[in-house]
Amino acid sequence: MTPRKPLPTLDDVARHAGVSTATVSRCLNNSASVRGDTRRRVTEAVEMLGYTPHFGGRALASNRTNTIGAIIPTMENAIFARGVQALQESLATAGVTLLVASSGYDPDRELKQVSAMLGRGVDGIMLIGDARLQKTYDLLLARGVPYVLAWNFRSNSQHTWVGFNNRLAMRPLVESVLAQGHTRIAMIAGITSFNDRAVDRLAGARDAIEGAGLKLPAKLVIEAEYVPAAAGAALRKLMSRKSPPTAIICGNDVLAAGAMREARALGLTLPGDLTIVGFDDIELASLVEPPLTTVHVPHRRMGQTVAKLLLAMRDQETVGQSVEFQTEIVERGSVASV
The helix/strand/coil state of 331 is coil
Among the listed residues 4, 35, 213, 242, the single contact to its own copies using CB under 8 A? 4
Q: What is the 3-state secondary structure (H, E, C) of 242-307?
A: CCCCCEEEECCHHHHHHHHHHHHHCCCCCCCCCEEECCECCCHHHHCCCCCEEEECCHHHHHHHHH
The helix/strand/coil state of 14 is helix
Among the listed residues 40, 54, 135, 219, the single contact to DNA using CB under 7 A? 54
CB nearer to DNA: pick between 25 and 252: 25
Q: Please enumerate in sequence order all residues whose Cβ is within 8 A of that of 3, keeping only pairs 6 or more positions apart, or say none.
A: none
Q: Are 248 and 274 in contact (CB under 8 A)?
A: yes
Return the CA Rg of the chain. Answer: 25
37 binds its own copies, rule: CB under 8 A: no
145 binds its own copies, rule: CB under 8 A: yes
C-alpha to C-alpha distance for 223 and 182, rounded to whole angstroms: 21
Part in contact with its own copies (CB under 8 A); list of ranges 28-36, 137-145, 166-174, 321-329 = 137-145
Q: How far is the CB of 60 from its own copies (least distance, A)?
A: 4
141 binds its own copies, rule: CB under 8 A: yes
User: 132, 10, 22: which is closest to 71 by C-alpha?
Assistant: 132
Partner interacting with residue 329 (select from DNA, its own copies, none; CB below 5-8 Å by kind): none
CB nearer to its own copies: pick between 165 and 252: 252
Helix axes 21-28, 36-49, angle to 10 degrees: 90
Q: What angle do CA 302, 253, 125 make, to 5 degrees?
A: 30
57 binds its own copies, rule: CB under 8 A: yes
Q: How far is the CB of 61 from DNA (least distance, A)?
A: 3
Q: Which residues bind its own copies (CB under 8 A)?
A: 1-5, 7, 50, 52-60, 65, 74-76, 78, 81-82, 84-85, 88-89, 97-102, 104, 115-116, 118-121, 139, 141-146, 227-228, 254, 257-258, 260-261, 264, 283-284, 286-289, 313, 317-320
Q: Which residues bind DNA (CB under 7 A)?
A: 6-7, 9-11, 18-23, 25-26, 28-29, 32-35, 37-39, 51, 53-54, 56-58, 60-63
